Amino acid sequence: MGYRIEHDTMGEVSVPEEHLWGAQTQRSLENFRISTETMPREIIEAFAILKKCAALANRDLKKLDPEKADAIVKAAEEILNGVYPDEFPLKVWQTGSGTQSNMNVNEVIAHIAAKNSGIAVHPNDHVNMSQSSNDTFPTAMHIAAAVALNRDLFPAVRMMISLLEQLEQQNASVIKIGRTHLMDAVPLRFSQEISGWRGMLEKDLQYLEESCTHLYELAIGGTAVGTGLNCPEGFDGLCAWYIAQMTGLPFEPADNKFQALTSKSAYVHVHGALKALACDLMKMANDIRWLASGPRCGIGEIHIPENEPGSSIMPGKVNPTQCEAITMIAVQVVGNDAAVSFGASQGNFQLNVFMPVLAYNMMQSVRLLSDGIRSFAANCVAGIQPDTGRMQENLNRSLMLVTCLSPAIGYENAAKAAHKAYQEHLTLKQAVVSLGFMSEDEYDREVDPEKMV
């Protein structure tokens, strides 16, 4: 491996000649040899969008030479097209402002731009013009999260909602026993149970879409501490306008740059909505695996797809693996939320210095939920089939059908009948008749599950 000499304000550094980064990237590589987590690809792409739009804004404001601006724009577009996937190796565990990743992008773009155009392009003076890591990193965080939510997660949730609507329609006539406290309760339609799952996801989508609006406010233009030092008037609005044009999302400059640099409450708000979605997915997956439990000794009211062998020792065993995957994802997202919440609380004075870990956890949560929902939908939910025979059997055996008798025989007499049936292994009908509360015909007229749902 050959090396070339790069320099920064601290001196010279040897950089592998096959790579396009500069001295500050190399210093970070050498100083932070920590674990394997690198800056999320979504953050790098957001930076490329930002650098392209910043160059265009600086050009329009007559601050950046058009030839240099064009070279920067083309270099950023190459990064967005995936031409240089190995040029962004820095770890999440670096400076809390993300300065080194900002400079990594600046250095790579400068080298690409210079190589392609034959003109000198400086990472600080040109690519980072009118910017600071302190406003570019939070801007990239917002761009990355908003784009991923709109591109990946929102469509996945809508797809799952649509799938559940179809299942509701298919099961509108199926009546089963309800359960509260894990105990038998009164009847309901299977479609009503499914509608609860659908309604949860609809609410979660509503929470996410509302919280996402706060990501459209960008810190760009605040530079080092929020005052906008070295940033020309109008740069923030013009840069945000170009970002909005590129992404199709309504980005705009934050009104208060001091808040935008130091507060990460928008991330807390969005990730809280992600946590709500994770919690509802956990509940839904648990419901499905309980209902599918068995096949002989569990509840067994539904069948789910049998995707792979479930045991290395028990032949024929099949497990609810998709439910297990989505519940593990839910656990991870809830854990990520704790990291996001705690990191966001550390906005000391004019800057939050936990931004890389905030970005890492946010993007992992969005990615996990997007992919997990699609897998859960395709490999489990789409294949749910009711076992109507088992549902009818459980419904007939349930003692909670007695609830509909309370108006006729009173709550206490209904309770006596339920206890007698349970203790003496009688049907509910036998218990009610033997206690003299009703005749068989009267019982048959009153106890109709169809009327109870």
Catalogue the active-site residues: 181, 311
Q: Which of 115, 118, 139, 117 is nearest to 51 (CA)?
A: 139
Residue 302: strand pairing partners = 386
| Interatomic CA distance for residues 449 and 140, integer angstroms | 56
- Using DSSP, state whether 387 is helix, strand or coil: coil
- Residue 183 phi/psi, 5-degree rounding, is -115, 160
What DSSP string describes 162-223? HHHHHHHHHTTT-EEEEEETTEEEEEEEHHHHHHHHHHHHHHHHHHHHHHHGGGGEE-TT-T
| Interatomic CA distance for residues 185 and 143, integer angstroms | 47
Q: Which of 134, 19, 33, 35 is nearest to 85 (CA)?
A: 19
Cis peptide leading into residue 295 (ω within 30°): yes
* Extended strands (E) in 277-397: 302-303, 385-386
| Interatomic CA distance for residues 432 and 286, integer angstroms | 35
Q: Which of 49, 134, 109, 110 is nearest to 348 (CA)?
A: 134
- Residue 84 phi/psi, 5-degree rounding, is -125, 65
**3-state SS string for 70-137:** HHHHHHHHHHHCCCCCCCCCCECCCCCCCHHHHHHHHHHHHHHHHHHHCCCCCHHHHHCCCCCHHHHH
Determine contact, residues 419/413, Cβ cutoff 8 Å.
no
Determine contact, residues 308/232, Cβ cutoff 8 Å.
no
Residue 342 neighbours by CB distance under 10 Å: 13
